[in-house]
Structure 1
Amino acid sequence: MKSKSSLSHRSQEPENGVLYIVGTPIGNLEDISFRALTILKNVTLIACEDTRQTRKIMNKFKFENDLISFNKDNGYKKIPKLINYLQSGKSLALVSDAGMPGICDPGEDLVRNAKINGIDAICIPGPCAAINALISSGMPSSSFIFEGFLPKKKKDREEILLEISKRKKTTILFESPHRLLKLLKELKDCCGGEREIQVSREITKKYEEHFNFSVNKVIEYFEGKEVVGEITLVIKGIGKKDSKFNEFLLRKELNELINAGLSLSSASSYLAKKKNLTKNKIYNLY
């Protein structure tokens, strides 16, 4: 038997017992789709990250509906109630403050629980900061990795930064404005100051900006400035030439050899031969 989501055409009107994951604007309210508005107007309940933000859409497009708060602070407790609500034959729309629900928010848990309980979950497309930033960067987009926000724990964070330093694919990150400089300096340490990145700010909003330079130049631009707005970073992967000289990894390996008892000169000679680089290039990393 075919599931509802396998049908070639979906009704524009909400269906009973269906969870709708609705993409909403990430800044410019005019980016909302006609289909998203139809769903939001006609479902029996909207679960939203912040009811005040969702009411901005309702006020702009002049419609009313019942709202329930569903966010990182209360979402886990409310999932059973919402699953029961859907199983009773009601329709539910899930929205976040901006963009697509389920990305870096508890919507992911609600959708997973809906699937476990045999509830159909339908995604209504909408704007996505990660894709907007990637496409506007001009960096390779046929293959990329989205990391979202990096973990706060030092060990976990360093592991992902190490992966990014070796990665050939484009990487996309989210970051809060007050932590941007810290992240940029971490990227400089692991990827080198010449790695190409783009920092996108306030995507789709009036003061949208994209800074596409080397890590060094982006740090220089933001140093001493008050950074505001939502931040998305796009980091170019390494090329074949770059993979031979990864400054972060070479420095790490050099330090490990020295800590194991080799002299700086001996460790540099060993790595130079291993990596087919000049000894001075390795030596100067210490």
Structure 2
Amino acid sequence: MKNQRSFDTKTEFGTLFLVPTPIGNLGDMTFRAVDVMKRADLIAAEDTRNTQKLLNHFEIETKQISFHEHNTAQRIPELTEKLKNGLTIAQVSDAGMPSISDPGHELVVACIAQGIPVVPLPGANAGITALIASGVAPQPFYFYGFLGRKPKEQREELAHLTSRPETLIFYEAPHRLQKTLKNLVTVFGADRKAALCRELTKRHEEFVRGTLSECLEWSQTNQVRGEFVIIVEGNSEPEENAKESSLMADLSLTQQVDAYIGDGLAVNDAIKKVAKTHNLRKQVVYNEYHNIK
């Protein structure tokens, strides 16, 4: 067990500050975030070119170092060594909270393991911002972030989420939005309440509220631009056999069908049982099992 007193002046190490940045509107930068970045010895930025625009706007002259998903292994020992030598580092992503669908988590883990203080600052976050204006129940909620990019992989992920009673939060890029909505309709059904929240805090901020099928129709008849948060209503009637479903949670739909076949069920009966377990149409599981696109 490790105990951290964030502002203990007796520590010999520097501090890693996790600093949120605006998700579109520079007015959402906090006074504290600006102050921390000005006082830091170094800013570890996901994209130094992007962050430099922010620094210029707020007249922050602190030196930057790149820290992104492609140089994590190289940078973490370097950054932790600087912190152990007493330097203060502010870590930022391109927009929003570090570690939330952005770099940061591995550095936090490394710092905690070495007894380096890690101090988070509150600030902008796209998922929570979208949730409170979506019109869908704000709590409890389940943050998922980005789904897999391949359609089959995405459907399998959604199959494990279909029985969750919490409101679900997803992130999606504009060029993948329509395909993701098709899979949501296929797996969750057409009638769940949902909201598409795009360009949050920016000039063209927009909320599309309705059912999943209505959101899909909107994506098919409008020019889709900007980053999206998708808010989806939870399952109001969780599965009676949720326990059995949880036992197979780590298996793909195909593996679950094979497991039931191994227990003596015929192929079609096994497919039907998996479909019922996940509240899916039988055809969805049939197509997955027979690799029909």
TM-score of the superposition, structure 1-length normalised?
A: 0.80
Alignment counterpart, residue 51 of structure 2, candidates 50, 54, 70: 54
Counterparts of 1:115-264 in structure 2, within 5 Å, are: 115-152=112-149, 156-240=153-237, 260=267
Query: How many aligned positions are there?
Result: 258
One-letter code aligned to 2:5: K
Per the alignment, in what secondary structure is the counterpart of residue 230 of structure 2? Answer: strand
Stretches (4+) displaced over 3 A: 152-156, 256-262
Q: Deviations over 1:120-154 (max 9, x none)?
A: 00001111000001101122222111111112355
> SS of 1:152's equivalent?
coil
Give the CA RMSD over aligned residues. Answer: 3.3
- Structure 2 unaligned spans of 5+: 246-253, 287-293
| Percent sequence identity over aligned pairs | 38
1:103 partner amino acid: I
Contact 1:76 1:106 in 2 (8 A): no
* TM-aligned CA deviation for residue 2 of structure 1: 6.2
8 A contact 2:192–2:211 mirrored in 1: yes
Cα deviation digits, residues 227-286 of structure 1 (max 9, x gap): 22111101001223x868xxxx9xx99xx9996367xxxx8xx9xxx99xxxxx999xx9
2:118 partner SS: strand
| Distance (whole Å) between structure 1 residues aligned to residue 160 and residue 3 of structure 2 | 40
C-alpha deviation, 1:156, in angstroms: 4.5
Cα deviation, residue 155, structure 1: 5.6
Question: How far apart in 2 are the matches of 1:210 and 1:127?
Answer: 18
Quote the Cα distance in structure 2 between the aligned partners of 1:226 and 1:16. 51
Q: 1:42 aligns with which of 39, 42, 61?
A: 39
Matching residue within 96, 101, 106 for 1:104: 101
Alignment correspondent of 1:83? 80
Query: Are 2:1 and 1:4 equivalent residues in the alignment?
Result: no
Larger radius of gyration: 1
Asked whether the equivalents of residues 201 and 229 of structure 1 are also in contact (C-alpha less than 8 Å), the reply is yes
Structure 1, residues 157-188: CA drift from partner, whole Å, max 9, x if none?
Answer: 33320122211110000111100000000001
Partner SS state of residue 4, structure 1: coil
Paired residue for 1:33? 30
Structure 1: gaps of 5 or more residues: 276-280
Cα 1:243/1:17, change in 2 over 3 Å: same
Tell me how far apart the structure 2 counterparts of residues 203 and 261 of structure 1 sit (CA, whole Å): 45
Supply the AA of the counterpart residue of 1:132. Answer: T
Letter in 1 for 2:137: P
* Whole-angstrom CA distance in 1 between matches of 2:51 and 2:232: 32
**1:37-81: CA deviations, max 9, x gaps?**
000011000000111221121111122110011111212211100
Question: Partners in 2 of 1:230 and 1:218 — Cα distance?
Answer: 15
